[in-house]
Amino acid sequence: MTELSSADAPATVNKWAAVAVLLLANFMNLIDITIVNVAMPSMQSELSAAPNLIEWIVAGYTFSFALLLLPAGRMGDLFGRRRLFMAGIVIFTLASLVCGLSPGIGTLVGARVVQGMGAAIMTPQTLALVPALFAPAQRGAAFGLFALTAGLASVTGPILGGLLINADILGLTWRPIFLVNIPVGILAFIGALALVPRGEGNRKLGIDTVGIVLAGLAMLAVLVPLVEAPSIGWRSWMWPMVVAAPFLGWGFVRWQAFQEKRKLPQLLPLRLARSDRFLKGGALNAALFSAVPSYFFTIALYLQSGFGLSPLQSGLTTTPFPVGVLVASFVTGWFGSRWVRWRVLGGGLLLGAGFAGQAWAVWHMGAQISWLQMAPWFLIGGFGMGNTVSPLYQLALSAAEADDTGSAAGAVQAIRQIGIAFGVAIMGGIFFAALGGAQHGDHAAYRIAMLSAIGYACAVAAVLVITALLTRMTLPDD
């Protein structure tokens, strides 16, 4: 038996209540990524951890999360997406408890790896369940809410992290940033049990063990240099990984072709890889996410190190961005499945205008940060992102057949994760190269560094616009 179809879902479940549960779990994962960065200094001080071990609090999570996205998506197709979603919530929540109670850095890093595994198991199911809940014309609104969740998490994480650490609840310093996941995880689990549609999956699809290994090795070969090089510098052992990455990727594709020819299980069905809609939606989604999270990473450095803002003040400064995404979620819901190409074009133009406006605001910034100068451009950029993410998700997932939705969702998010890693490495590299050896509080140096980094973000927006102008983007119902 396959998952519940969108035609059946309205009669059996409250669709929007089910989506609220998916968004709650997705938000719990996304905010955990951003909130940890704020707590790193407190963790290092309390645990007396070496810098190379502290970095693994983030790196361990990143690697386990990225490596399991694709196989976890396929497991949802096989064993049922609600079942995998709930299993992911349980693993993530229990790992959060261990993180919050960790007596030392080793336990914390290990728990973060397991936490990343739980996040990877539940995350592809959140997107894959949308087609099971909604008819094509209604999916735009749901995907728009996922964009809103991402925008809110990027801003809320630093704010909530700063508040929790400053409050020092019961003398626990940084530990509440993990413990707060426990009631949220319990609520999400109960909500999934009551509201998310049941489905048994299709176990006839089978498990592609060799494909899982090849895909994992290829992801590692790409991500390890990208994630580690900014922290520890480029090392000689990274070169073999860079050289091996394309060969491993080629080997994975050839293996999938071999499996397809023999009519055996495939981790990523090649009918997806051959689809123009899937490739275009996935690649542009990765490009978009290579710019936006990286932009928030660099703007936080600009505001906090360059101008002395606290994490809370920095987060509040960027709040108009998720407000723009929120407004866009209503607009993109009205569009439904119509005019995908023009929505990507318009969203790319607005996103580019937001980045360009930020460059103007940064260039004219004096000795104090002016919220009024920056706020309109954050709002415009957020509105542009909100109008771009939804059609790109729709485009990519429209290529998947019912039994392949989890695999497609996992692949799109794995590609997106690579895009984020590329963006942080490239945009962060540009920022620090332009900054040179400048000291904290050197307004002029941080201004030049921020302007240099924004150049990459503007280039990504241009790619979105040019691709939408020169290529065809239509959904099956168009």
Dist. CA 473–CA 280, nearest whole Å = 8
Q: Is 376 left (phi over 0), alpha (psi -120 to 50) or beta?
A: alpha
- Per residue, what are the HEC states of 257-305? HHHHHCCCCCCCCHHHHCCHHHHHHHHHHHHHHHHHHHHHHHHHHHHHH
User: For position 10, what pLDDT does the model report?
Assistant: 41
User: For position 477, what pLDDT does the model report?
Assistant: 59
Q: Which residue, chain included where needed, has tokens 């009205």?
A: 334
Nearest to 76 by CA among 299, 378, 409, 303: 409
User: For position 3, what pLDDT does the model report?
Assistant: 47
User: For position 13, what pLDDT does the model report?
Assistant: 54
User: For position 12, what pLDDT does the model report?
Assistant: 44
The rounded average pLDDT for each run of 10 residues, N- to C-terminus, in the chain (478 residues) is 44 76 90 78 79 78 89 90 94 96 92 94 89 77 79 76 81 89 95 86 83 92 84 84 94 93 88 88 92 86 86 81 84 78 93 96 87 93 90 86 82 87 86 86 90 95 94 75
User: Contact, 65 vs 119, CB < 8 A?
Assistant: yes
User: Contact, 141 vs 333, CB < 8 A?
Assistant: yes
Q: Assign a CATH topology to domain 9-207+265-470.
A: Growth Hormone; Chain: A; (1.20.1250)
Q: Which residue, chain included where needed, has tokens 């809940």?
A: 133
- E strands, 349-476, where? none
User: Contact, 292 vs 424, CB < 8 A?
Assistant: no
pTM of the model: 0.83
User: For position 368, what pLDDT does the model report?
Assistant: 85
Buried (b) or exposed (e) across 43-63, using 16+ Cβ within 10 A? bbeebebeeebbbbbbbbbbb
